Amino acid sequence: MKFVTVLVLLLAVCGADVQAIWTGTWRLTYAVRGWTGTIGATGQGQAWALFQHDRQQTSSTMLRWDGVSWRTAVPPKGVSAYEAEFAASPAGDDLWMFSGNRPFQLSGGRWVYRPWTSRYDRGFVAIGAKDDVWVSEHGGPDDYSGSGLSHWDGRSWKPVRKPSPYGDLDQISLVAAPGRGEAWAVIHPPGTTTVIRRDGSGWATAPLPSAPGCPSSPAGGFYGMAARAHDDVWLVTQGAFERSGPCEVPDRGMVVRWDGTTWRWLNLPLAKTWLPAIRADRVGGVWIAANPAHAQSYVLNFRGGRMTKSTLPAEGGWAGFVDIVPVPGTTRLWALARRVDGTLLIYQLT
């Protein structure tokens, strides 16, 4: 969430002079003044959004989509959009909302608090199936060093040991889950970034090849991970950063894919492009949000061996993606974007 907020700031400053391009079919469903936010969707045609209206984190709003329109909803007591995140199971039958380190599960139409205790802060969240929730953890009392991993099994949270020889100082940055009993994680020991996979109760390593033009790990590590199946896992990152006027932009966005046997870097036209979000689903395949430094934002959809591109409309001016969320069981997509004038926009791509 912190990375997304910083990214929105950069886009608001650096993307104002971008020429608009219109491709694809988008429907604007809501607009409000705001700073950042998060969005989640279930398989019952419902969606939820949580907005932060200002940088000072003093005002938040929750919305619920009832299949026709967005309506204001009452959030659980103490919930804020600051560092909030929604996560849904691939089937859309389990939706969670994290507000900082406080997890809530949507049950019977209401948000139920599921107390979670850790010595670290919550990182990324992944749900493989109903009541199969994974949380990466980071931080600690000694200068934010340390990391962990927790799992919800439907009854309680339990810590999960990292594979040997990784210890507390080896950071777990990302986690993804394509189905029940399987989890993928990106771990940062001293040196090269490593991807680990848990199938059942054991861990295995899936070594990453060197990135094109990067002898070791890409600059800044990996920013997003999506797992559609055990043989279809994706990671996104940025190449080296360079100056562009008053701003710093990546020389390119970078995507690497696991095919069940090995990782392969994809040759995609992503020059000077941020990749703020990547999501997977069981119908639409894999979605990647792209915010070019000097063009209109778009999403790439990989499905059935084909790649399609849908460009965000420029209604009222240029906007950059904050988050994207597939609608479970469909080929539709929710997208949260922020316009350069400070307006948050919720689109549906059909």
pLDDT digits 0-9 by tens, 238-248: 887 776 666 66
C-beta separation of 170 from 146 below 8 A: no
What is the model's pLDDT at position 244?
A: 63
What is the model's pLDDT at position 143?
A: 54
Name residue, tokens 């689903």.
Answer: 281
17-22 average pLDDT score = 34
30-42 average pLDDT score = 93
Tell me the C-alpha to C-alpha distance, in Å, between residue 23 and each of 78, 111, 298, 327, 345: 40, 37, 9, 20, 17
Alpha helices per DSSP H over the chain: 2-14
C-beta separation of 230 from 178 below 8 A: yes
CB-based contacts of 262, cutoff 8 Å, min separation 6: 209
pLDDT for 44 beyond 90: no
Q: What are phi and psi of 345, to 5 degrees?
A: -125, 135
What is the model's pLDDT at position 344?
A: 95
313-325 average pLDDT score = 89
199-205 average pLDDT score = 83
254-276 average pLDDT score = 93
Label residue 336 left, alpha or beta by phi (over 0 means left) and psi (-120 to 50 means alpha). beta
Q: Which of 12-26, 226-240, 241-255 shows the lowest mean pLDDT across its residues?
A: 12-26
Confidence of residue 294 (pLDDT cuts 50, 70, 90): confident
pLDDT for 24 beyond 60: no
Q: Give strand pairing partners of 137.
A: 122, 148
Q: For residues 249 and 252, what is the distance between their CA atoms, to the nearest angstrom?
A: 8
pLDDT for 93 beyond 70: yes
What is the model's pLDDT at position 39?
A: 96
153-167 per-residue burial string, b: 16 or more CB within 10 A, e: under 16: eeeebeebebbeebe
pLDDT for 10 beyond 50: no
Q: For residues 253 and 278, what is the distance between their CA atoms, to the nearest angstrom?
A: 12
Q: For residues 136 and 168, what is the distance between their CA atoms, to the nearest angstrom?
A: 12
39-55 average pLDDT score = 91
Q: For residues 321 and 344, what is the distance between their CA atoms, to the nearest angstrom?
A: 10
What is the model's pLDDT at position 317?
A: 79
pLDDT for 220 beyond 50: yes
pTM for this predicted structure: 0.88
What is the model's pLDDT at position 50?
A: 95
Mean pLDDT of the chain: 85
What is the model's pLDDT at position 129?
A: 96
